Structure 1
Amino acid sequence: MTTPEDSIGYRGPDTAQWEVTEVPGRRRRVTVRHRPLAGLHPQDLLWWWSHVEGTCLVDGLLMTRFRAWHPRDHVLWEPVRVGSDGLLGPGSRVRVVEAFDADPDQRVDVVERVERLDERGVRLVRRRFGLTVATVQHSWSTGHRGTECVSVLEVGSPLPGTGPLNLAMTRRALPVSVCRAWVRHTVEETGRLECLVPAARQASSAADTTSRASACTCARCSGPRKDSA
């Protein structure tokens, strides 16, 4: 188990099963099958991804939800485009900055498009010059011991004829050392959701209740009332 930096701590990579595979077209894929998230449902993970923009308390310290998700590695979550409801959803774009193991040499600063976000999971796509160069997908399903979660990172374009480009990208962006770092990172951040999501949802619900309770209920604001007979 990784040494915790707060009361939540981190899961270790040994709690998950993972593999690196070479995909046709000289793409590279990393697959992580996490230990089930006890007490969570797919709807909870959908809520979290839709509401990453916000704050929460960890050990009495107020921080952004993104930072709380992984205090060591996460740097910035900056929505570029969201839905009309102000939430992240299909078609949204978000800038993500993180550094695996807080190592500047493994810093990632990308803009990703949300291709899918529903109760089955989330799929993020990175594109350059009109080509898909990387995808990150987290798939969720209900299991006997909690929510089953599988994370997949794939580097390379699926288009025909991009093999040489894919080979160069995987060598540069996803060597074996980075594969291991990403596995550790995604296992750690996924495991923290067991504690973060219930607390964040409860705090959000309480805030909504307080907001409604503090709303003005005078006749001018609430509209005309009918006297009871």
Structure 2
Amino acid sequence: MKTALLPARPYSWAMKPLTSAQTTFTILPYGSFELRIEHDLIRNVTPDMLLWWFQHIGDTMEHEGATYPRYLIWHPIDHIHWELTRPAPGGGAGVGAHFRIVEAFGGNMDQLVDSTEEVIKLDRNGITLVVRILGKEVYRLAHQFIPVEGGTLYRSRMQVGRESLLGQWLINPIMHQFVFTKAMGQAWLKHNVEEVGNFESFLPELYHTYGILGFSPCLEGFTG
């Protein structure tokens, strides 16, 4: 179980500030949280690069003279572990796969998330992850990729909880007290702005080296 904060990985870029994006945090009528981000332009990154990234997120990469799991470079402070707990029906990290994601927003273990999520959409238009409990969806994170001149517009929407009477009286109070608090929601907005902004600092070169040339060292279910 990878639940301890790791030493920060070296990185040479400045992470984008929260103010670089447009963000909202709304409590919906039945009490679930809705968080939206319209990110700053992801420069020199295409939707095809983003699709390739998520399809190969479990691989390794060379960075600052060492080899790392790619997930640990995507956010070199907050990310702790990524694992493919169930491959897609066709294999790998596609639709139907389950990702285990461990991260601590702001490098703060009080803001720890350790979640296993199902991929229900992954294509050049975006990725969507969900969590279900007893068949009921209680979490959804959708990222949309829109190609524009100079890069990609990246829009994110997270919903934590369920918009129903069951959500209002049982699921949402439990989730928002013990799993994903309001404070964690505010911290996630900053984390995701940084995470998505980091793409433009490493993904074009990584894609040119491994995606276009076709070489992709793999570390399935890595233990970083």
Q: Which TM-score bucket, shorter chain as reference?
A: 0.7 to 0.9
Secondary structure, counterpart of 1:162 in structure 2: helix
Q: Considering only CA atoms, is the larger Rg found in Structure 1 or Structure 2?
A: 1
Residue 22 of structure 2 is matched in structure 1 by 17
Deviation at 1:85, TM superposition (A): 5.3
Deviation at 1:172, TM superposition (A): 4.0
Distance across 2 between alignment mates of 1:35 and 1:21: 20
Question: In the TM superposition, what are the counterparts of 1:1-229 in structure 2 within 5 Å?
Answer: 6-83=11-88, 86-168=91-173, 169-205=175-211, 208=214
Deviation at 1:209, TM superposition (A): 6.4
CA 1:10–1:110 in structure 2 vs 1: closer, same or farther (change >3 Å)? same
Distance across 2 between alignment mates of 1:163 and 1:74: 31
Secondary structure, counterpart of 2:42 in structure 1: coil
Please, which moves more after superposition, 95-104 or 196-205?
A: 196-205
Residue 223 of structure 1 is matched in structure 2 by none
Deviation at 1:117, TM superposition (A): 0.6
Q: TM-score, normalised by structure 2?
A: 0.84
Aligned residues: 208
Letter in 2 for 1:53: G
Deviation at 1:178, TM superposition (A): 1.3
Residue deviations 1:148-173, cap 9 Å, x none? 00111111123454211244023444
Secondary structure, counterpart of 2:14 in structure 1: coil
CA 1:84–1:8 in structure 2 vs 1: closer, same or farther (change >3 Å)? farther
Residue deviations 1:29-75, cap 9 Å, x none? 01011001111111111110111011112222221100010111111
CA 1:210–1:187 in structure 2 vs 1: closer, same or farther (change >3 Å)? closer
Distance across 1 between alignment mates of 2:114 and 2:215: 37
Q: Percent identity?
A: 30
